[in-house]
Amino acid sequence: MEQGGNDIAKKMGIVALLLFGVYVLCMYWYIFHGGDGTIPQALKGTVADPAMFMSERELYLSGEYSKIRNFLFFVATPFEWLVYLVILLMGLSRYFEKVSTAQTKWKLVQNAAYLFLLSIVLYVVLYPIEYYRFYLSKSYGISTQGFSSWMRDGVIDFWVNFGMTFLIVSVLYWLIRKSTKRWWLFAWLLTIPFTIFVMFIQPVVIDPLYNDFYPLKNKELETKILTLAEQAQIPAEHVYEVNMAEKTNALNAYVTGVGSNSRIVLWDTTLNRLSDNEILFIMAHEMGHYVEKHIYFGIAGYLLLTLIGLWLTSKCMKWLITRYGHILKIIKISDIHSLPLFLLITSILLFASSPLSNYISRYQETRADQYAISLMGDQASAVTAFQKLTKSGLSEVNPQLLVKWFRYTHPPMLERIYKVAEKEGQKKEAPIKEEQKK
């Protein structure tokens, strides 16, 4: 029986590899040959046309860089699924549990040992992809981070994720052992306070592990931002900046945290390369999210998707273990070595739901843009801010449909620039190209 299960596992593994290979070829054709994201004729020569504010070299690098990143995204996610499947089919997960349980009788220590072994394997197997992403970003001038600094962030990531995963998995499998039928509901109920807690501590505990945060040095700009926040009836006392220039050339600003730990944060790259009015527009955009309560809608949407996802995961795990448990080397769902199956199913569900969640996010971003224009009344600064954001990150302004569905939480820059320019009836023809275009 054991030998028969191993033979089927080998066949299943081979079929999975073949399907993955076919998928990779299909995605390669789609990304590199299935459409070039050309600018609609009606938008050529407008402020939204990247040819009007990017040099020929920047346009070339943007197209090349975007295609590689998009291909990597669509390949890396299913590759991770394949890794989970292989770990199960080879019996590695069950072996890790045997090793961990042989060392101690303490359940929490067993969980920690099992998770450490699994995490190390995943880190090693997925490391080449993560390193290539780093190398790619460096090659195209986006990242300024040294290898040692990147590795340091990777090690921090490993231990932060390990700690949070250990807490979640220990509670999760305790619930499964207590109630094999309703564990998904109890897990979801605990997700609510846990999500809020993580959002509360993120700005003051987790984020400072990676970068230094300090009050905005430019007090004149801080006064302008706080005045803008007062106009929007947003309680804010401080604006923070973060030292990102040593890691990236990209620009960003955001609002993070909840309650008393909420923060307005500006990257120093943004402060160094945007004008005050452009920064104020970005801040007004972030304030739009606050005013329209997008963070709370986001939490509600996340919790709803989590509820559906956990319920579907429980049904899928039960069915798969009943039907293919002998092949996947899983005896019962309450054994921690079923974790790769849990991760596999949840990852697939998360990927499948991303077009919907991204669509909602894009709608909210559009609303925030509209709010910022209404608050600032300065569409010219909005246009130039978006143009500089595009240039700094070599962003793809008009992605292919699947790329937009699965990757874009913000509207493509082509849409954002044209809409904010159109909002107040700004002349759509672009000004003379920048000096670098000459």
Tell me the per-residue pLDDT of 288-303, one tens digit each, with 9 for 90 and over: 888 888 888 888 898 9
Residue 423: pLDDT band by 50, 70, 90 thresholds?
low
Q: What is the pLDDT of residue 316?
A: 95
Tokens (6 digits) for 270: 């943004």
Q: Are strands 253-256 and 213-215 parallel, antiparallel or unpaired?
A: unpaired
239 beta partners: 264
Q: What is the largest CA-CA distance in the chain?
A: 75
Tokens (6 digits) for 313: 């995961």
Q: What is the pLDDT of residue 8?
A: 84
In a domain, 382, yes or no: yes
Q: Give the lowest-confidence range in 185-199, 221-235, 274-288, 332-346.
A: 221-235
Q: Is 110's pLDDT higher than 60?
A: yes
Q: Which of 140-144's residues contact partners 24+ apart within 8 Å by CB, and which partners?
A: 140/61, 140/64, 140/65, 140/394, 141/61, 141/249, 141/394, 142/65, 142/248, 142/249, 142/250, 142/393, 142/394, 143/247, 143/248, 143/249, 144/245, 144/246, 144/247, 144/248, 144/249
Rounded CA separation 372/381 (Å):
11
In a domain, 270, yes or no: no
Backbone CA torsion sign across 294, 399, 66, 68: positive
Q: Which one-letter DSSP state was computed for residue 48?
A: T
Q: Which of 130, 189, 184 is nearest to 161 (CA)?
A: 130
Q: Model-level pTM?
A: 0.88
Q: What is the pLDDT of residue 407?
A: 94
Q: What is the pLDDT of residue 274?
A: 92
pLDDT digits (tens, 9 = 90+) for 4-18: 567 788 888 899 999
Residue 45: pLDDT band by 50, 70, 90 thresholds?
confident
Q: What is the pLDDT of residue 2?
A: 54
Residue recorded with tokens 């509820």: 307
Q: Percent of the chain scored above 90 by pLDDT? A: 54
Helix (H) or strand (E) holding 230: helix 219-231
Residue 394: pLDDT band by 50, 70, 90 thresholds?
confident
Which range has highest mean pLDDT (53-62, 340-349, 364-373)? 340-349
Q: Which of 371-374's residues contact partners 24+ apart within 8 Å by CB, and which partners?
A: 371/284, 371/285, 371/287, 371/288, 371/291, 371/292, 372/281, 372/282, 372/284, 372/285, 372/287, 372/288, 373/420, 373/423, 373/424
Residues with catalytic function: 286
Residue 432: pLDDT band by 50, 70, 90 thresholds?
very low
Helix (H) or strand (E) holding 196: helix 183-201
In a domain, 235, yes or no: no
Residue 111: pLDDT band by 50, 70, 90 thresholds?
very high
In a domain, 256, yes or no: no
Residue 266 CA neighbour count, 13 Å, CB half: 27
Q: What is the pLDDT of residue 238?
A: 74
Question: Domain tally for the chain?
Answer: 1
Tokens (6 digits) for 4: 């028969």
Rounded CA separation 334/5 (Å):
21
Q: Could you tell me which residue, 40 or 267, shows the higher pLDDT?
A: 267
In a domain, 274, yes or no: no
Average pLDDT of every residue of the chain: 88
Q: What is the pLDDT of residue 427?
A: 45
Residue recorded with tokens 């390669």: 28
- In the chain, the N- to C-terminal Cα span, in Å, equals 74
Backbone CA torsion sign across 341, 347, 350, 354: negative
In a domain, 197, yes or no: yes
In a domain, 238, yes or no: no
Rounded CA separation 33/31 (Å):
6
Q: Is 434's pLDDT higher than 50?
A: no
In a domain, 248, yes or no: no
pLDDT digits (tens, 9 = 90+) for 137-155: 999 989 999 999 999 999 9
Q: How many CB atoms sit inside 10 A of residue 336's CB?
A: 23
What domain range is 27 assigned to?
2-211+293-437
Mean pLDDT of 184-211: 89
213 beta partners: 242
Residue 109: pLDDT band by 50, 70, 90 thresholds?
very high
Rounded CA separation 381/276 (Å):
9
Q: What is the pLDDT of residue 239?
A: 83
Mean pLDDT of 156-167: 94
Q: What is the pLDDT of residue 336?
A: 93
Residue 36: pLDDT band by 50, 70, 90 thresholds?
low
The residue type at 269: T
Residue 231: pLDDT band by 50, 70, 90 thresholds?
confident
Instruction: Name, in order, each residue with C-beta under 8 angstroms of 149's C-beta and a sequence gap of 6 or more.
Output: 246, 247
Q: In what order do the strands lie in the sheet with 213-215?
A: 213-215, 239-242, 263-267, 253-256
pLDDT digits (tens, 9 = 90+) for 75-85: 999 999 999 99
Yes or no: say if 414 and 48 are a contact pair by the CB < 8 Å rule: yes
Q: Is 123's pLDDT higher than 70?
A: yes
Residue 437: pLDDT band by 50, 70, 90 thresholds?
very low
pLDDT digits (tens, 9 = 90+) for 18-30: 999 999 999 999 9
Rounded CA separation 265/286 (Å):
10
Q: What is the pLDDT of residue 5?
A: 61
Kindly give the residue spans of alpha helices, DSSP state H, lying in 34-104. 56-89, 92-103
294-328 vs 183-201: helix crossing angle, rounded to 10: 130
